Chains A and B, each alone.
Chain A
Amino acid sequence: MNRHASEQRRTAAPFLRRLVVQSRTETSMTLKRGESLLLTLGIPVVLLVFFAEVHVLPASTRKPVNFLAPGILALAVMSTSMVSLGIATGFERSYKVLKRLGTTPLGRPALLAGKMVAVVMVEIIQAIVLIAAALAIGWRPGGNGLEAIGVVALGTVAFSGLGLLLAGTLKAEVNLALVNGLYLVLLLVGDMIIPLSKFPGWMATLAKALPAAALSEGLFHSLNGGTAIPPWAWLVLVAWAIAAPVAAGIAWEWE
């Protein structure tokens, strides 16, 4: 090391401190975005209550809320980890926020961890609100809570990877349109409000390969008790949880 390198006294703050300040800021920014709150809390609550009370959709269970509650929880995970994170990150990229952070000692691991902490914080708020709403309209969950947490963790990683993949490769406006379109498609074919059993065979098979249906199915079985999560759901979730973040890491462009 030459003389300059040995002379330097400036160092980065410890990782934990950087993570704490970044997580606090990411969470605060997320909660300040009105449109994000509408997407992550407003729409899921409205869908849950409306379709549980107004029986216009086919349900696979005797009480519609028993099918809808896990599906809407899956929708909430998708809306926070893919849509909200992806859109916000896309705009941060276009505002050169990420470029600026690239020359600070924050570092990529602390930045990504900070974003993940914000996602998890919002998911906890979503879970509290949605479970309370579902209980209020007659949902009586049972089963394996740990399995449900595992499924949610895999779903969060998979959808975050997808959100960051799109945010890190597309222009902010294109990313916004595409992520919203994807959200709508996955809502319809994701076993969230319409059971896969109502789909034609080929469409159900296709839907099962996507992370939305796997997450919904996993939550349905883990929260309604009695039946094990089908292996295909685990397999699909694990595959997406590995592939999407890896693809995002490879294709990512800071600006």
Chain B
Amino acid sequence: MDRSTGSNGESPAVSCVDVTVAYGHTIAVDNLSFEASRGKILAILGPNGAGKTSTVESLEGYRVPQRGQVRVLGYDPAKDIKQLSPNIGVMLQEGGIHPMMSPRDAAELFAGYYRAAMDPGEIIGLVGLEDVARTPYKRLSGGEKQRLSLGLALMGRPVVVFLDEPTAGVDPQGRLGIRQVILQLRNQGTCIILTTHELPEAERLADEVLILDRGKKVMQGTIHELLATSKGNTSVRFHTLVTVDIHALAGAIGTSPGEIIEEAPGSYRVDGDATPGRIAAITSYLAEHDIFMDSLTTGTVSLEEAYLGLIGSSVQ
């Protein structure tokens, strides 16, 4: 695929080509290339020190890469921040708002920066802060602070939004509200770059994931593609009261012993297709050996399992 155009023929909203960011002799981002499109949510995942923050800060114009090309909506963030800034929204992981400032004051202030800003009252309503609209920022709960930060990022009707851990420390109801806002934005055609450690959140929201480790790209693709990289992308899990002979079970159900993993004492995962025939074979084997089974589930591996599989192998 041509780097300058996405799959739909449009220029990517965000692109990095061979980008390297270093701090002295420490390389934070190593020759990284990726793209993100409008109307999509790209989750950037990786362990601490993977280069997520340096990558996103390069896109936001805070850092100047030592090598490579960064473009957001065609602009170089480090040089063209004046033209770019009205088109992007940034939500920091924490802080960024004066402690004495209320959500209403902050929304009115930010509205004054953009020619076609959203109505401050509309933003307050969108993120559900009507009841605390006049409360100083320092007295808001963690979830309320996150929602205010998200609302301010949307004030200028951005084309690209950068969200850093948007649901960290937020209660379940607040998470639901934040997710709804993010998905609504995506459906309106906004490109969303989401940085998070919370893999279930990425699984719920992201159209694509970019996995980084030690500054390098481990993979970029859809959630489905990531799950497909996992050795056991579907599995059967069961729990027994006694230990099972894995080699004997493998022989009985026609798989290799390596496909059967004892995840915890008495808890087994059999990787591979969870077909009715395989389930029947497992239960038959247990019945023949008089082994009591108290639970059995089937399903795909989680994003977390697939992620750990990738990161684990890359560390090796």
Type the 1/0 row for A8-34, where 1 means its CB is closer than 8 Å to any CB of B: 111111100110111001001100110
Type the 1/0 row for B152-167, where 1 means its CB is closer than 8 Å to any CB of A: 1000111100000000
Contact of A25 among B87, B109, B152, B158 (CB under 8 A): B109
- In the complex, whether B114 has a CB less than 8 A from a CB of chain A is yes
- In the complex, whether B112 has a CB less than 8 A from a CB of chain A is yes
Type the 1/0 row for B215-257, where 1 means its CB is closer than 8 Å to any CB of A: 0000000000000000000000000000000000000000000
- In the complex, whether A140 has a CB less than 8 A from a CB of chain B is no
- In the complex, whether A171 has a CB less than 8 A from a CB of chain B is no
Q: How many residues of A contact B (CB 8 A)?
A: 35
The residues of B that contact A2 with a CB separation of less than 8 Å are 4, 11, 74
Nearest Cβ distance between residue A104 and chain B, in whole angstroms?
5
Contact of B113 among A12, A29, A97, A99 (CB under 8 A): A12
Give the docked Cα–Cα distance between A106 and B156 (Å): 12
Inter-subunit contact B96/A96 (CB<8 Å): yes
Contact (A25, B105) CB under 8 Å given A10-B156, A11-B86, A104-B85: yes
- For window 76-126 of B, CB contacts with A under 8 Å fall at 81-83, 85-88, 90, 92, 94-101, 105, 108-117
The residues of B that contact A105 with a CB separation of less than 8 Å are 82, 85-86, 113-114, 156
Best-surrounded residue of B62, B99, B111, B112 (most CB of chain A within 10 A): B112
Inter-subunit contact B110/A13 (CB<8 Å): no
Nearest Cβ distance between residue A83 and chain B, in whole angstroms?
18
Nearest Cβ distance between residue A41 and chain B, in whole angstroms?
18
Give the docked Cα–Cα distance between A107 and B83 (Å): 11
- For window 136-186 of B, CB contacts with A under 8 Å fall at 152, 156-159
Give the docked Cα–Cα distance between A10 and B72 (Å): 14
The residues of B that contact A227 with a CB separation of less than 8 Å are none
Contact of B62 among A5, A14, A21, A102 (CB under 8 A): A102
Give the docked Cα–Cα distance between A105 and B83 (Å): 8
Give the docked Cα–Cα distance between A103 and B73 (Å): 15
Contact (A21, B113) CB under 8 Å given A5-B83, A96-B94: yes
Contact of B61 among A5, A20, A102, A107 (CB under 8 A): A102
List 12 additional A-B contacts (Cβ < 8 Å) besides A2-B4, A103-B61: A3-B11, A3-B74, A4-B74, A5-B75, A5-B83, A8-B159, A10-B86, A18-B112, A22-B112, A25-B109, A28-B105, A97-B98
